[in-house]
Amino acid sequence: MAKLTGVAAAALSFASVFVCAQGAQAAPCLDVVLTGTSGPPPYKGLAGPGTLVAYGDEANDCRSVLLQFDVGRGTLMRLSQLDIEAAQMKAVFFTHMHSDHMEGFSDMVQMYWIFGPAQTTKLDVVCANDAKTETGMDLSCRKFVAHINDAYELSGETAYRKAEMKGVVDPAGPVAGLNLITFDPKEEPQVVWSSGDVKVSAIGTAHIPGSVAFRVDTPAGSVAIGGDSSNRIPAPPRKTSSSDELEAIAKGADVIVNTAIHPVLSPESGASTPPPVYYRQSNATDLGSMAQRAGAKVLMLTHLAPPIGASMQGTVRIQGGPLSAADYEKAARDGGFTGQVVVGGDLARVRLPRK
């Protein structure tokens, strides 16, 4: 190889420094943030269930691709604490059609329409196809999304705002800014959405018809989000209260997020919880065992029953007094989990890769 001239050598070394600097800047990262952790009723200002997954690089604080999984009450308020607006969201995913996981969506749709890029960029909304219940009714994310603006339409609010904000908002209305993507939940993971390096897959779960768990894979790491998933066998005797499907999709994921009920509410421990109410959730101890089997590094417990500090869960008195985060962590450890336990806490966050 011919000897490089001084100028060429300098240019080459500048180029390699530049490439290195770019490489360093582009170190990918992933944030998993619990945007709400309450049960269905409001409790001490906690937001309703939801999880933000934010992928990017260290230079932009992991904020290239923002994905919201479930949109409980007050989600936008929590996102505002992270300086994130509806306008920045790339896609919303629903684990199931229970109102506590959905009721912040109307807020998000309005704000995306009024302040977002709705005229140029649609917000993807990803959920299961219509599912039949045993009683023959449809649980329909499709209809939920299509009719999310109906009350504002009928009240005249949307028309008034269109006139008031002519040239600013999309005259086609808020729903026109949404791009619905539905899929048939399967027993095996399937990819349901992707963008660049980010891939989201889903698997059907037991909770209500059409329930799914999701998994997000990125170069910075991966997270599985179970929603309210639990075991298909509705009560003991069974191997576990946790979801076999969530366990399958979570295999090898860095982080698992799931709704948790504490064993202090179990009928076996003498609590007056109606058995079907207790058994339809995954208990924190079984989630600990599952996370260990799946090889997760972090288990995030959310949508807690009972909430931390509560003396009652509905009409059920918490035996031994209110629970602390340590009580939840202990329950997960009792299941054999040796990784990090994060007990939600709105805005509890895990960043990947872990340092």
H/E run at residue 340: strand 340-343
Angle CA 246–95–113, to nearest 5: 150
Choices 52-60, 92-100, 195-203, 280-288 (CB under 5 A): range interacting with Zn ion: 92-100
228/286 with CB nearer Zn ion? 228
Sheet holding 221-225, edge to edge: 190-195, 198-204, 212-218, 221-225, 255-261, 298-305, 340-343
- In angstroms and rounded to an integer, the radius of gyration of the C-alpha atoms of the chain is 22
Strand partners, 69: 51, 93
Smallest gap from Cβ 102 to Zn ion, in A, equals 10
Residue pair 265/306 in contact (Cβ under 8 Å)? The answer is yes
Q: Where are the beta strands (DSSP E) in 221-264?
A: 221-225, 255-261
Choices 10-18, 97-105, 290-298, 308-316 (CB under 5 A): range interacting with Zn ion: 97-105
Smallest gap from Cβ 241 to Zn ion, in A, equals 15
Residue pair 223/253 in contact (Cβ under 8 Å)? The answer is yes
Smallest gap from Cβ 90 to Zn ion, in A, equals 24
Q: Which of 98, 161, 215, 262 forms a contact with Zn ion (CB under 5 A)?
A: 98
Choices 74-82, 98-106, 146-154, 345-353 (CB under 5 A): range interacting with Zn ion: 98-106
Residue pair 217/228 in contact (Cβ under 8 Å)? The answer is no
Q: Which of 258, 222, 248 is nearest to 96 (CA)?
A: 258
Smallest gap from Cβ 93 to Zn ion, in A, equals 15
94/113 with CB nearer Zn ion? 94
98/215 with CB nearer Zn ion? 98
CB atoms near residue 277 (< 10 Å):
15
Size of the site for Zn ion (CB under 5 A): 2
266/282 with CB nearer Zn ion? 282
Q: Does 254 help bind Zn ion (rule: CB under 5 A)?
A: no
Smallest gap from Cβ 320 to Zn ion, in A, equals 27
User: Six-digit token pair at 241?
Assistant: 């209260």
How many residues comprise the chain?
Answer: 355
Choices 22-30, 93-101, 217-225, 292-300 (CB under 5 A): range interacting with Zn ion: 93-101
> What is the number of H-type helices and E-type strands within the chain?
10, 18
What is the DSSP-derived secondary structure letter of residue 314? T
Choices 39-47, 177-185, 191-199, 221-229 (CB under 5 A): range interacting with Zn ion: 221-229
140/218 with CB nearer Zn ion? 140
Smallest gap from Cβ 334 to Zn ion, in A, equals 25
47/66 with CB nearer Zn ion? 47
Q: Give the DSSP letter string of 96-126.
A: ---GGGTTTHHHHHHHHHHHS-TTTSPEEEE
3-state SS class at 192:
strand
3-state SS class at 173:
coil
3-state SS class at 55:
strand
Each residue 42-81 as x (binds Zn ion by CB under 5 A) or -, in order, gives: ----------------------------------------
Smallest gap from Cβ 211 to Zn ion, in A, equals 8
Smallest gap from Cβ 38 to Zn ion, in A, equals 13
Smallest gap from Cβ 98 to Zn ion, in A, equals 3
218/241 with CB nearer Zn ion? 241
Q: Which of 88, 53, 87, 57 is nearest to 69 (CA)?
A: 53
Choices 118-126, 170-178, 227-235, 317-325 (CB under 5 A): range interacting with Zn ion: 227-235
The residues of the shown chain that bind Zn ion, judged by CB under 5 A, are: 98, 228
